[in-house]
Amino acid sequence: MSNDQPYPNGRAVLSAIKEKAVAAHRSGLGTSVQSLIELAIFDRFLCRVFSAPDCPFALKGGTNMLARLPGARRTTDVDLETPEMTIDEAITQLRAAVSVDLGDHLEFRYLRHRDTGGRNQPELQAAAVSFSVTVRGAGTQNSINVDLAIHKRTPAAPLEKITPAFRLALSRLGHVVDYQAIAVEDQIADKVCATVSMFGGQPSTRSKDLVDLAILTRTMPISAKQLRISVHTEALYRHLPTFISIVVPRSMTDGYSKVARTVPLLSDLLNPDDAISVVNAMLQPALSGDLMEGQWDPTYQHWVGVTDS
C-alpha cells in the first residue's frame, strides 16, 4: 500500500497515532505521550466541528491555549462558544457537525448534556455536552466533554484561524482544517474579568485562570490597543467598574502553585504573587491608556513599538 492511502481500519489509525505521539514527544512536543494521543482524538473531533460550512463555533479556554501552545495547562474538556442562538439549537448543530464521516475510522456520538448556566451569570446560556469516541474495530476511547456557551455579543476582536500546534503529522488520516478561535486578547479579557468578578456574592476560586494568564503573558504577543478594547468590552458585559490591574482573591491564589507545578513553562513562577506581578506588568500600561499602541514581547516581557498617550 502506498504511503498516501488512507489507513485500512481503526486499529491501524490508533497504532499510527501512538507511534507519532511517541516520536513527537521525544522531539519535545507536549507534556506526555498520552496527552498527545488524547489531543490527536480532540483534533479529529474539532476537524469535524470546523469543517461545517459557516461554522458558528469558536474555540476558547484551555483547548484554545493548547492549540497555540502544547506546553500549556492540560485540559480534559473542549471549550466552544457561539453567538446568538438557543442552547438547544447550538447542541443540534454541534451534533450534526461531529457526526460527519471524515474517513478516519472514528465515530463521535452524542451521549447527554446538562445545563451549566446559572444565576451567577444570568446572561449566559451554557451546557456540558458529552460525546462517546469509538475507533472502529479498536474499541472506545475516553469520552469528549464540550463546555458549550452562548454569548449574547460578538467577540471584541476578530476570530482567528489557527493550525493546532499539537497536531501530529498523519497525512493518511484524512481531511484537516484550521480551527476558528477567539483572539488571545479576548481570552485574556475573559480571564481577567472573571478574576475580579463575584459569583453569587463570592470571589472566583479558579486558580487555573491565574495560571493561564501567566502562561499567556509569558508566551503570546499581545496588541495593547486590542487588549484595552477587549477588556473594556468584557467589563461592560459583566457590569464591572473600570480597572487597570487585577487584585486576585485568596480563593484563587491558594491553589495556584499546585496547578502551576503541572506546567513546565511556569517552573520559575510558582509563587502566585510573582505571577500576579508578571500579569499586571503586562496589563497596566495597556489598560491605563498610557500606551495607545504597542505589542507585548513575551520573550523580553515588555511592550515594544509603543505610542504613548
User: What's the pLDDT tens digit per position in 146-195?
Assistant: 999 998 778 899 999 999 999 999 999 989 999 999 999 999 999 999 99
- Provide the grid cell at 138: 479498536
- Residue 1: the pLDDT is 45
pLDDT 10s digits, 228-283: 999 999 999 899 999 999 999 999 999 999 999 999 899 999 999 999 999 999 99
How far apart, in whole angstroms, are the C-alpha atoms of residue 47 and residue 189?
27
The pTM of this model reads: 0.90
98 Cβ neighbours under 8 A, 6+ residues apart: 45, 48, 49, 108, 131
Q: Tally the C-alpha atoms within 13 A of residue 204's C-alpha that lie toward its C-beta.
A: 20
- Residue 118: the pLDDT is 58
Residue whose grid cell is 520559575: 268
Closest CA to 217 of 275, 284, 154, 140: 275
pLDDT band at 119 (very low <50, low <70, confident <90, very high): low
pLDDT 10s digits, 38-85: 999 999 999 999 998 889 999 998 899 989 987 788 888 999 999 878
